[in-house]
Structure 1
Amino acid sequence: MLYAIVKPIAKLFIHSKFRVEVIGKENIPEHTAFIVAANHSSNYDPILLSCIIKREIHFMAKVELFRNRLCKYFFSEIHAIPIDRQKGIVIRPVRNVLKVLDRGEVFGIFPEGRRCKNGEIIQPKKGVAFFACKTNVPIVPVAIVGVKKGYRTPVKIIIGSKINVNHLNISDYSTLALHVMNKIRELQTNNSESDF
């Protein structure tokens, strides 16, 4: 309920702050579960993805955001899944994500695991590969290009073709996560800020 109320407000904010161009909307599955995997350079990234994809997206969020009752209610209602990044074992969040995908819904993830400055290349986390392999749902790679400070700056969001993990001969989670991240980086490179 709250998600439906917040989303139009978020859209107004995003379109007042950025000039958003979306490429590849036809690559978004309309009715089946999928994982949307994107690069992460800004706090605006989950909001941008939620605004350009019609279906509701579940994201993981740091447990610190759920400390008080009001924040816990708000983030829970917008489908955030709390995760304690300091703990090595995260069984409950993992189960929650698997349930989301088993229900045919959408899960959003940033394989890099943290915000990375433009040009910074790090080894992606295994999560995106783990969830895709466990549920056999496709991964939709997305590149977010051009998020900067200021108002009415141009932002390009490029949605790539879905990746069906069962069609790939990759069983190692690290290798598969890198494959997904490389697809995202290809979308970034082919649609750099110089092309605006």
Structure 2
Amino acid sequence: MIQKIWFTLVWSFIKLGLYFYSNKITVLGRKNIPKRGAVLFAVNHPNGLIDPLFVTTTNSRQNHFLVRAASFKNPTIKKILESLYLMPIYRIRDGIKQLSNNQEIFEKCYKILDKGETLMIFPEGSHDKKRSIRPLSKGFTRIVFGALEKHKDLEIKVVPVGITYQHPSDFPTKVTINYGKPIGTREIFETNSGAKSINILKAKVSEQLEKLSVHITDDSNYETTLQKLTDAQVDFTKVDEVNKMIQSESIPNSKNAKTNFVKPLLYLIILNSIIPFFIWKIVRNKIDEIEFIDTFRFALNWFLCTFFYCLQAYIVSLFYGNTIGLFYLTISAFIVLLYSKLAPTNAKKHKEFNEFGKQV
């Protein structure tokens, strides 16, 4: 019970933070989420640890997560992650000896699904900013079919989830979370051999993911197609519309990006958040993977800005009274919200960053 209360508090805090961080969050197919019973959410993975945050805060099911084991190296962070229902999954790159630890994790997953709860996994196996659905690993099928074999009366619905960003690593972010149709797994498991069951389930999930997110075939024409879409300033979060452009090869002509008329607000935000801003700039220089820009920017600035705005409001209240302190805190939050909702979210190549990032 205590863990659920803790999870709900953190979930609510993160959901509020994502609202401030995002220009627009579009959720499609929410009706496809089963209200009860075992569910495995199979999600594409373009943008680091912020991906599961968007998924878990846009559905009412309490999720358990499988994330890469490297995130659990620090003992303190390990305890925090475990308290939020995160579990490590080991890959070959973590060392062959570590792979044996996965069996214990799989057993935990079987119990979670048998209790009619939900599990979130990223079957591509790693994050990648490319606008393509990559080949899926069979790890998630092993969990599903392992649970079905162990619990004969269990049915597990696999729900593919597509995430598409207007531009990964940009602020404010604009994203679409698209829930696909549930895939029943008991019939696949019982009417096919093991290898065939795996291939069928992987194919069904891949097929949906390619429609639920913007998918450009990763071939020799990938960069050309992406460049044309970027030059046309398409709204990538309009997934169906963009996928039709790609499939019909009917991409609009180039157009100019929208001018950011509210940029002065950004400088005001930086001035009011000067300590968090400099801390972020230091941390930013240590981030090697572009896919983690959004994750660290959101987490660091949401927690730091919340703390420093409250601290600054307290200091203001000491000199000018509680009413002025509360007014300062309200205006500070309102300016951030105003900028995030009004700033243009232009289509950009992945190498470009705005003022809160760094060009690479």
Normalized against structure 1, the TM-score is what? 0.89
Distance 1:34 1:157 in 2: 17
State the Cα deviation string for residues 64-118 of structure 1 (Å, max 9, x = none).
3223332121011100112232334321111111111111110001110101222
Match of 1:187 in 2: 212
Mapping of 1:43-82 within 5 angstroms? 43=48, 44-82=50-88
Structure 2 residue identity aligned to 1:79: Y
User: SS at 2:174's partner residue?
Assistant: strand
Separation in 1, partners of 2:186, 2:75: 41
Which shows bigger deviation, 88-97 or 174-183? 174-183
Paired AA for residue 127 in structure 1 = G
Higher strand fraction (1 or 2): 1
The alpha-carbon distance between structure 1 residues 122 and 108, as it changes in their structure 2 partners (threshold 3 A), is same
Report if aligned partners of 1:38, 1:111 keep a CA contact under 8 Å in 2.
Answer: yes
- 1:17 matches 2:21: yes
Match of 1:118 in 2: 130
CA apart distance, 1:121:
4.4
The whole-number CA distance in structure 2 between the counterparts of 1:62 and 1:149 is 20
Give the number of equivalent residue pairs.
Answer: 195
Residue of structure 2 in register with 1:103 after alignment? 115
After superposition, the C-alpha distances for 1:1-47 in whole angstroms (9 at most, x for unaligned) are 32112101110121112210101111111121100111100121011
Decide which structure has greater helix share.
2
Kept in 2, the 8 Å contact 1:97–1:107? The answer is yes
What is the match of residue 328 of structure 2? none
More relative contact order in 1 or in 2 (CA 8 Å, sep 6+)?
Answer: 1
Per the alignment, residue 176 of structure 1 pairs with: 201
Structure 1 SS opposite 2:213? helix
Go from structure 1 to structure 2 and tell me whether the alpha carbon gap of 1:177 and 1:81 turns closer, same or farther (over 3 Å shift): same
Q: Is the 8 A contact 2:44 2:133 kept in 1?
A: no
Structure 1 range deviating more: 146-155 or 100-109: 146-155
Q: Superposed, which structure 2 residues align to 1:108-187 within 5 Å? A: 108-134=120-146, 135=148, 136-146=155-165, 148-168=168-188, 171=193, 172=196, 173-187=198-212
Give the whole-Å Cα distance in 2 for the aligned partners of 1:194 and 1:75.
30
Instruction: Output the CA distance in 2 between the equivalents of 1:65 and 1:133.
Output: 27
Measure the CA separation in 2 of the matches of 1:127 and 1:155. Answer: 27
How far, CA to CA, are the matches of 1:181 and 1:72 in structure 2?
Answer: 31
Shift of 1:130: 2.2
Match of 2:143, as an amino acid?
F
Q: CA 1:195–1:83 in structure 2 vs 1: closer, same or farther (change >3 Å)?
A: closer
C-alpha separation in 2, matches of 1:55 and 1:179: 23
Q: Which residue of 2 aligns with 1:26?
A: 31
Superposition deviation, residue 56 in structure 1: 1.3
Conserved in 2, the CA contact under 8 Å of 1:32 and 1:104?
Answer: yes
What is the CA RMSD across the aligned residues, in angstroms? 2.1
Q: Go from structure 1 to structure 2 and tell me whether the alpha carbon gap of 1:130 and 1:151 turns closer, same or farther (over 3 Å shift).
A: same
Unaligned ranges ≥5, structure 1: none
Deviation string 1:123-178 (CA, Å, 9 cap, x unpaired) is: 21112222222333010111111152233332111111101123446542144223
Change in Cα spacing, 1:42 to 1:130, as seen in structure 2 (3 Å) is same
In structure 1, the partner of 2:293 is none
Q: Could you say what secondary structure the match of 2:123 adopts? A: coil
In 1, Cα distance between equivalents of 2:31 and 2:37: 14
Task: Please tell me whether Structure 1 or Structure 2 has the larger radius of gyration of its CA atoms.
Answer: 2
TM-score where L is the length of structure 2 = 0.50
